[in-house]
Structure 1
Amino acid sequence: MGEEEGKLVRSLKSQILDLPPSCVEFCPAFPSYFLVGTYSLQPESAGQSRPDADIDAGPDEESDDQPAAPKQPQSRNGSIVAFKLSDGVITHVQTVPQPSALLDLRFNPHEGSRDICAVVSSTATLALFRLAPSEEQPLKHLNTMDIATMSRGEIEPSPGEEILFLSFGWHPSRADMMAITTSTGHVYLVRLSTFDGDWELSPEPVITHMLETWCVAISPVPATPEQCGVESSFRVYSGGDDSKLRFRSCNWNWDNGTLAESLPALESRGHDAGVTAILPLLRQEDGHELVVTGSYDEHIRLFSVPPFGKPKSLAESVLGGGVWRLNLVDLDTKPSQNYNWRARILASCMHAGTRVVELLKTADDEYQFRVLGRFEEHKSMNYGSDFQPGWKDKLSVVSTSFYDKLLCLWEFDLV
């Protein structure tokens, strides 16, 4: 790649972790702190060890005269590792071992709850932690529940069946709600009445894919006056290994915690492989929502999603690796000489490393992706990258890679 495909960035610091990292995020309440979730397949478990590969490793090779052995659940564990980044120095703060491997980790984005972190695991558990840097052990466990408990027994895995929670997304305007995806292709809504109390999981999925559901995001829909305080309208987006972006508009009744009548799920077929990342960007005056997606097919794409009907593809670009995670760096909706609006995005691109990407709606009303920067020191799967909150002209980025257990710190000028 040449300079026209983004400035190549070098690491400032790097270190090797104890276990393979699968996700990373800075704490919005305490921007000097970040957490890394890890994922380890135990040596006695046969099969692949990558988070996106061992969900269903497929049949093992066998001789023609030997019957296939029953498939056994794979044994995985992991950890949450807390670090502090200050003045360019990364300091290990705490390691909290976990009985399951972690697949996604995200802090609550809402004021007053931004010290709350949720993680989902390979045994279909949801766990909540609170980060309190003033404590001797800053990361405190609040509660853990599994899929059967949250669904009040409505969803109970069969003997030998594996259900993994693969990803989740917080509701952008309700601190007590999220959506969770599973290895069985489902998207469920979860209601957290209190962070340390009983949680409820919708027994019926709001969206179903034919294969693993890799990602999910919730986007609010402006409520009508009669809905205010009672019902919340929102749209759930999900991406699956079936190469589909699916979405559903929903009404949730907060008085009784039920899903009111909602429209059926719709889908877009504009991807050539599994959909692995979804970033709702902005809603336009005509009600169409602009949504960015990432895919195993190495593309980042922009779709216009109408209030009713199927999405329209507006732009796409090849990033050189499967686009596993998309983090919005900033969104400038004030028109300038060069654009009507601009978004800058941090993309974790699996085997290609990390990209800083710019998306423009130009003054000529065209949509364009452009790679501004690229970090390529990771030699294995880059699943997790995040930038330190509160940046001004320069991003401080922590990125990770799986097999080599590498964590890197690097900076990128956005002036």
Structure 2
Amino acid sequence: MAAATWTTRWRWDTGLSADSAEWCPVPPHTDVLVCGTYQLNKGDEGKQSANQKRLGRIYVFRINDETTTLEPVHTVEISGILDQKWCYHTIDNHPVLAVVTSDGFVKLFKLITEEGECKLELWMEESIGESILALSVDWSTNKLRSAETRLVVSDSSGSVTVFAVQDKLNKLGTWNCHGFEAWIAAFNYWNPDVFYSGGDDCLFKSHDVRAGGAVCSRAHDAGVTSVRSSVDVEHQLLTGSYDESVRLWDARALKRPVTETNVNGGVWRLKYHPRRPASVLAACMYGGFRILNVEGDSITVVNEYMEHESIAYGADWKFSEDGNMVATCSFYDCKLHVGNIVFEA
């Protein structure tokens, strides 16, 4: 297990509340970072949830050896963003960003970098329903390329929808998974027919698009907010919860976790390091950010980052050769930080 030092390089005020930070994983565009924001229109604060308007922006940054200050190169005005994820490979010769919004849409943006430009261009979109929020999104092909690239989207009604990305977003099915909000949905990257969901009903479920029913775990003591499959270690799976624990699972046996570790904050996002399979970045809401070491049947906290002053929501590693740059963002203080991690032997 390696200790780590975390140093902040830049801070930037996002204007609206920041809740997602995602580095592009597709070479040669790994210097592109997007930050998503979500904020309730102040004039709608007394209205019913379904009638409230939520504002959002996507900020696009390019961060490389020539960067001296943090400034966006492109901004997209959009409804409130709950989650966004890059596809790990190009589609139609472009990196593609999937975004889910507060008005119930999943939108795909192509990254355009021609003639010195760097911008997002809306490619296709699909509604998942009226008066619901789309809460999370994931791609099926982070590990294995296949003839059919899929998206899984969870929503505030407790449902999860799977789409095939073709000439349009074709709905393959919708599963009514949870009694309350389905905070998270994610694929098993080693088997794209399998996806997972976690809800505010404290349930963690495994689903197979080829079969009915689901494997259900009741191991969490509060809502399940994060699920991440490892692309390096087959059958390794992590979950996070409002109960402030990160749980390690063997995907072949989901009745009970292999182990769990308290991280002193509700776990909103978990991201494996792109080059170090045992290193995991965790956004722990009111507990700040953590770097975890996941090896064998143990989870250990090796670093804490407490320089944000509000809810820690967005976190990601840069997909560079060493992968030791990170982006983090926090909600009410509207802050994006970019820093460096140095792992010590």
CA distance in 2, matches of 1:71, 1:382: 23
1:311, CA displacement in angstroms?
2.6
Conserved 8 A contact 1:330-1:343 = no
- Structure 1 residues 110 and 46: alpha-carbon distance in aligned structure 2, compared to 1, 3 A threshold: same
Picking from 19, 22, 38, the partner of 1:22 is 19
Picking from 105, 119, 126, the partner of 1:125 is 105
Residue 58 of structure 2 corresponds to 80
Residue 103 of structure 1 corresponds to 82
Matches within 5 A, 1:9-408: 9-29=6-26, 30-46=29-45, 73-87=51-65, 89=68, 90-98=70-78, 100-111=79-90, 115-135=95-115, 136=117, 138-147=119-128, 157=130, 162-172=131-141, 173=144, 174=146, 176-194=149-167, 198-202=168-172, 204-219=173-188, 234-251=193-210, 262-281=211-230, 289-306=235-252, 310-330=254-274, 343-361=278-296, 367-392=297-322, 395-408=324-337
Task: Give unmatched runs, 5+ long, in structure 1.
Answer: 48-68, 148-155, 223-232, 252-261, 333-341, 362-366
**Bigger RCO of structures 1 and 2 (CA < 8 A, at least 6 apart):** 2
Identity across the alignment (%):
28
1:126, CA displacement in angstroms?
1.3
- Structure 1 residues 221 and 410: alpha-carbon distance in aligned structure 2, compared to 1, 3 A threshold: closer
Conserved 8 A contact 2:22-2:85 = yes
Opposite residue 119 of structure 2, the aligned amino acid is P
- Structure 1 residues 200 and 107: alpha-carbon distance in aligned structure 2, compared to 1, 3 A threshold: same
Task: Give unmatched runs, 5+ long, in structure 2.
Answer: none
CA distance in 1, matches of 2:161, 2:328: 29
Larger Rg computed on CA atoms: 1
Aligned length: 334
CA distance in 1, matches of 2:251, 2:62: 39
- Structure 1 residues 328 and 312: alpha-carbon distance in aligned structure 2, compared to 1, 3 A threshold: same
Conserved 8 A contact 1:247-1:266 = yes
1:40, CA displacement in angstroms?
1.4
Secondary structure in 2 aligned to 1:205? strand
Conserved 8 A contact 1:282-1:291 = no
Q: Deviations over 1:210-237 (max 9, x none)?
A: 1100111111566xxxxxxxxxx62110
Secondary structure in 2 aligned to 1:44? helix
Opposite residue 143 of structure 1, the aligned amino acid is M
- Structure 1 residues 318 and 8: alpha-carbon distance in aligned structure 2, compared to 1, 3 A threshold: farther
CA distance in 2, matches of 1:199, 1:92: 29
